[in-house]
Structure 1
Amino acid sequence: MDAIYAGQRHIYDATRKYYLLGRDRLINELAPPPRGTIVEVGCGTGRNLILAARRWPQARCHGFDISAAMLETARAKVAGAGLADRIALAQGDATHWEPRLLFGFDAADAIFMSYTLSMIPDWQGAIGAACDALAPGGALHIVDFGQQERLPAPFRAGLFAWLDRFEVTPRADLRHWLEVAAGGSDLSLDFTPLYRGYAWRAVLRRPA
């Protein structure tokens, strides 16, 4: 990840805003309880966490990433936004993490993954780890590339070829594995294609 993002991190937010669709909708739907905890898995430059902290000012926000280069940028952006006292950052692996070890609390009320599963080799493991970290009544929010199922075939082929250059792989069987995770952890699943299948949105929720 550091090899990929050592240079890209400086232009990441400016370029990704045009095609990482659905991120702001996800943030608006987090709805943590008062004094609740939010965790972003794969926080990158900190862009989403800053928006989440502003949208949900009563929540405590946390994020982690495996890339030290990205975290360097995230810390600078969080400090520049005046939110260093409200956003905690750590280095961690999405496939094997615990809130207690990274941030000092037992479970999270809202966890989100924004265009991260398409970049994580063991993405099924990342889903499982996030589900394990949910508090009672908590929810895991996901948005990532869909299969462009209602868009023209040439658009799909061009997008997938371009994403492959950056080692990004849209997960065709994402819904299946979310259903497996939901069944194995007694969670409910809400799955919704966005923008004619350009992106897929999902929410896994633990009963209170």
Structure 2
Amino acid sequence: MYRHQRHIYDASRKFYLLGRDGMIAGLAPPQGGSILEIGCGTGRNLIKLAQTYPGTICHGLDVSEAMLATARSNVARAGLSERVTLAQADATQFDPQALFGRSGFDRIVISYALSMIPPWQGVVARALQTLSPNGSLHIVDFGDQAGLPGPFKAVLNRWLTLFHVTPRRDLGETLDALAKAEGVRARTMRLYRGYAVHAVAERGAA
């Protein structure tokens, strides 16, 4: 699907993938820490992460080699190839040690990817398993749309269907259950009247 869309992906998505930059701004990774983006696409977020947090090492994985080709080009153009490592992998069963030489990550980011991955619960579960002892998982995606006007909601969902996007309306409940099983504390915040959702799970949180 993204073999051709990757060339216009960032320009066409920047107006409606809301909440990404706010999530990035609030990550607060430790100095010298590691950041992983699952479903990194064209590398747009990874570049912003590396620029915002110059003391960190950033990693990205995606199942699409076409998207990764674009990401590698974008990362190199930004002069960040030494700080951003990319790998192709299935997000439900990736091995961080084999891919990146790490057992876990201080921050894991998933931005508007779960709504495009059918086995999305497995992605969340694997992400929680690969958090470092004081790490945190940060998710932003389409929300339950509870506060949106009916006509706008209908148009939005028809448009999302064209791109095989399915809002995960039970994201909060699913994350809570998976986080509890991992001994992780989770919270979910509705953004823009439910247009988007921002979820955080923190290992070691009180």
TM-score above 0.5: yes
* Corresponding residue number in structure 1 for 2:172: 175
Note the alpha carbon deviations across 1:77-133, whole angstroms, 9 max, x for none. 000000001100000111111211110011100000000000011000000000000
Q: CA–CA distance in 2 between the matches of 1:39 and 1:73?
A: 18
- Of 50, 57, 79, which aligns to 1:53? 50
Aligned AA (1:55)? T
Unaligned runs of 5+ in 2: none
* Corresponding residue number in structure 1 for 2:188: 191
| Structure 2 counterpart SS, 1:193 | strand
Range with greater deviation from structure 2 (181-190 or 129-138): 181-190
- Of 146, 150, 157, which aligns to 2:147? 150
* Corresponding residue number in structure 1 for 2:3: 6
| Structure 2 counterpart SS, 1:203 | strand
8 Å contact from structure 1 (residues 110, 138) kept in 2 = yes
Aligned residue pair count:
205
Q: CA–CA distance in 2 between the matches of 1:50 and 1:176?
A: 31
- Identical aligned residues as a percent: 55
Q: TM-score, normalised by structure 2?
A: 0.98
- Of 67, 70, 83, which aligns to 1:86? 83
| Structure 2 counterpart SS, 1:64 | strand
Aligned AA (1:181)? L
Q: CA–CA distance in 1 between the matches of 2:48 and 2:132?
A: 22
Note the alpha carbon deviations across 1:38-65, whole angstroms, 9 max, x for none. 0000000000000000000000000010
- Of 41, 45, 56, which aligns to 1:44? 41
- Of 87, 98, 102, which aligns to 2:95? 98
8 Å contact from structure 1 (residues 147, 156) kept in 2 = no
Aligned AA (2:88)? Q
* Corresponding residue number in structure 1 for 2:65: 68
Unaligned runs of 5+ in 1: none
Shift of 1:188: 0.8
